Amino acid sequence: MHARNNTLPPVVRELARDCSFTEPGPDGRARCKLRGRVFKDRGLAGDTEEWVVLDVVHQAVGVLLVINDDATHLFGYSGVRKDGMNANMLTRLNRFAAHVNDLFAPAGGEAFIPGHGISQAAWELTTLQFRRTLAWHIAHQPFGVVAGARQYKHAQVAIFEGYAGTSASGFAAEVEAEQAVARLDYAENLYRDWLASGPSGGGASHKINAEFARIHAELADLPGTIADPRRLRTMLSHLAVILHPGILGDCFYQPATALCARQARQPAGKKPLPMLNTCLTCPNARRPSVHLPRQEQDRD
C-alpha cells in the first residue's frame, strides 16, 4: 500500500477514504466520527474501531480526499508531484513549520515557532509529538484519564496514564505542576463568576462564597475588574490545592467532612480520590453556574 511509506502512526495511516461519518448520539445531537483499524496488541488483520472527533477533523478529511488520490487509503497517493507532497510526513511537517516562520517571524527576530537549546536550533516536528501532546491535555481534564483511555483505545487506564505522562514512568513532576496551574486557573474563573453574581449551590457554597467575599474585601476590586490579578491568584492558591473540578459540580475536598471518605478505600502509597457520585449532599461540594447547562441536560 502506498500509505505504508508514510511515517504516520499506523492507526492514522490505515484510514480508508470513507472513514468519516456522522451518527446521532444519546442526546440526539449529531456526532462526528472516524472509523479505522487498531493493530497494536491485536491480530494481524487488526480490529475495527470508531472514534468521536470534532467537526474540524471531518473538514481535514475532506481536504485529504482532494489532495490524495489512492483508491483505498486516505493518506495514500500515486505518481510524482511537483508540489513537494511526495515527501514523507516528517519532511512535510517541517517544511510547513519553516513556511510559518517565514510568514510570521519578524525580520531579524526570533522564530515564530520557538527553537530549543542554547543555539535555539529549529524545533524538529514529529507526528508522535502531536499525539502525545493531545494525550497530555486530555489527561488534565476532569475524568480525562478515563476519556483518554477510551479515545486512544488503550485496554487499561494505567497504559494511558503512562502514555500521557501521569505515572512514574512519564513526566509526573511536570504533569503535577501543570495540573496545579490548571486548578488555579479554574479557581480564578470561579471567583470571577462569583464576582459577576453567578449563582452557586451545594454544601460548600456558603463557605467558599464567604472566602471569595473575604478576598474581594482585601483586594478592594471595583465592579467588573480585578485589582491585582497576581495577588488574587496567591490568595486563591489554598483553595486550588483542595479543588477537584467535576462534571456536574466541584469538590473542595476536606477528608474530615467528606461523605465519600467513609466509602473510599485508600490505594496503597497513594492519596485517596474523591467519589463524585456522593456530592449531592456533601458539605464539600459546590455547584457554580458553569455546571448549570450540564445539570439541566442531565435532568432532562
Tens digits of residue pLDDT in 267-283? 666 666 656 567 788 99
Cell of 155: 485496554
- In a domain, residue 23? The reply is yes
Q: How many domains does the chain have?
A: 3
- In a domain, residue 107? The reply is no
- In a domain, residue 119? The reply is no
- In a domain, residue 179? The reply is no
- For helices 172-195 and 205-219, give the axis angle rounded to 10 degrees: 80
Show the domain range for 42. 1-91
- In a domain, residue 102? The reply is no
Which of 115, 143, 170 lies at the terminal end of a domain, its last residue? 170
- In a domain, residue 131? The reply is yes
Average pLDDT, the chain: 77
Tell me which of 101 and 221 has the higher pLDDT: 101
Across 105-131, average pLDDT: 80
Same domain (yes/no): 242, 292: yes
Same domain (yes/no): 207, 252: yes
pLDDT of residue 1: 27
Same domain (yes/no): 210, 269: yes
Which of 65, 91, 117 lies at the terminal end of a domain, its last residue? 91
Give residue 38's identity as a one-letter amino acid code.
Answer: V
- φ, ψ dihedrals at 171, nearest 5°: -115, 60
Same domain (yes/no): 148, 242: no
Same domain (yes/no): 192, 166: no
Same domain (yes/no): 40, 138: no
pLDDT > 70? residue 181: yes
Question: What does the pLDDT look like over 190-205, one tens digit per residue?
Answer: 998 998 888 999 999 9
Question: What does the pLDDT look like over 142-178, one tens digit per residue?
Answer: 666 656 666 666 555 555 565 565 544 444 565 566 6
Same domain (yes/no): 137, 240: no
Same domain (yes/no): 152, 193: no
pLDDT of residue 2: 32
Same domain (yes/no): 195, 294: yes
Long-range contacts of 121-127 (CB under 8 A, 24+ apart): 122/94, 122/97, 122/98, 123/97, 124/90, 124/94, 125/90, 125/93, 125/94, 125/97, 126/7, 126/90, 126/93, 127/7, 127/8, 127/9, 127/12, 127/89, 127/90, 127/93
SS3 annotation, the chain: CHHHHCCCCHHHHCCECCCEEEEECCCCCEEEEEEEEECCCCCCCCEEEEEEECHHHHHHHHHHHHHCCCCCECCCCCCCCCCCCCCCHHHHHHHHHHHHHHHHCCCCCCCCCCCECCCCECCCCCHHHHHHHHHHHHHCCCCHHHHHHHHCCCCCHHHHHHHHCCCCCCCHHHHHHHHHHHHHHHHHHHHHHHHCCCCEECCCHHHHHHHHHHHHHHHCCCCCCCCCHHHHHHHHHHHHHHEEECCCCEEECCCCCCCHHHCCCCCCCCCCCCCHHHHHHCCCEEEEHHHHHHHHHHHC
Same domain (yes/no): 131, 79: no
Residue 105's CB: how many other CB atoms inside 10 A? 13
Cell of 193: 463568576
Question: What does the pLDDT look like over 58-83, one tens digit per residue?
Answer: 999 999 898 888 888 887 766 555 45
Same domain (yes/no): 191, 295: yes
Which of 138, 170, 202 lies at the terminal end of a domain, its last residue? 170
Question: Is this model's pTM higher than 0.85 or not?
Answer: no
Same domain (yes/no): 198, 295: yes
